[in-house]
């Protein structure tokens, strides 16, 4: 995580002290090693926080993963890429549904934040920097 974009950050990170609290919340709803997206969304609503914050907490402060499988898995960097809009991308994917979301702490494309990889039968498609529109277009063309 040595490089970052030359563009100025556009967003703020989640307060690190909140990550610990959200990690505890996630451990409470976890089923073994995984958390169901529906349960995570419900938890976020209960706590009055965006679902994307809980999704980012998964790789940043827990060993948990999001449950489920699908033909397309969208890996979203929730690390420093947060400062370039990664949380908005996660929020978009939650609303969009229909793909497996896999938040990760880094995709090793930090200088092209926010970084996303779409994995499936096609192999791997990299979107960096990614936008919600580019993700939707890629999912449509790959589905
Ligand atoms: S922080 Fe490395 S790809 Fe996002």
Ligand 1 contact via 113 beta carbon (within 6 Å): yes
Nearest to 77 by CA among 96, 46, 100, 101: 101
Q: Separation of 106 CA from ligand 1 center, angstroms?
A: 4
Ligand 1 contact via 128 beta carbon (within 6 Å): no
| Average pLDDT estimate for 59-82 | 96
Question: Could you read off the pLDDT of 110-140 as tens digits, one per residue?
Answer: 999 999 999 999 999 999 999 999 999 999 9
pLDDT at 102 over 60: yes
Spatial separation of the C-alpha atoms in residues 39 and 18, rounded to whole Å: 19
Nearest to 67 by CA among 91, 47, 40, 92: 40
Q: Separation of 97 CA from ligand 1 center, angstroms?
A: 23
What's the confidence (pLDDT) of residue 3? 86
* Domain at 16-142: CATH code: 3.40.30.10
| Three-state secondary structure readout of the chain | CCCCCCCCCCCCCCCHHHHHHHHHHHHHHCECCEECHHHHHHHHHHHCCCHHHHHHHHHHHCCCEECCCCCCEEEEECCHHHHHCHHHHHHHHHHHCCCEEEEECCCCCHHHCCCEEEEECCEEEEECCCCHHHHHHHHHHHC
């Amino acid at each position: 995580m040595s490089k970052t974009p030359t563009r100025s950050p556009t967003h703020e990170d989640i307060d690190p002290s909140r990550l610990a609290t959200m990690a505890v919340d996630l451990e409470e709803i976890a089923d073994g090693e995984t958390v169901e997206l529906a349960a995570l969304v419900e938890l976020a609503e209960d706590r009055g926080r965006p679902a994307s914050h809980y999704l980012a907490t998964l790789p940043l402060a827990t060993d948990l993963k999001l449950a489920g499988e699908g033909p397309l898995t969208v890996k979203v960097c929730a690390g420093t890429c947060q400062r370039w809009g990664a949380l908005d991308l996660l929020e978009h994917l939650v609303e969009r549904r229909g793909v497996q979301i896999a938040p990760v702490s880094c995709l090793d494309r930090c200088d092209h934040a926010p970084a996303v990889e779409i994995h499936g039968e096609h192999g791997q498609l990299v979107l960096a920097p990614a936008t919600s529109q580019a993700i939707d277009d890629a999912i449509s063309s790959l589905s």
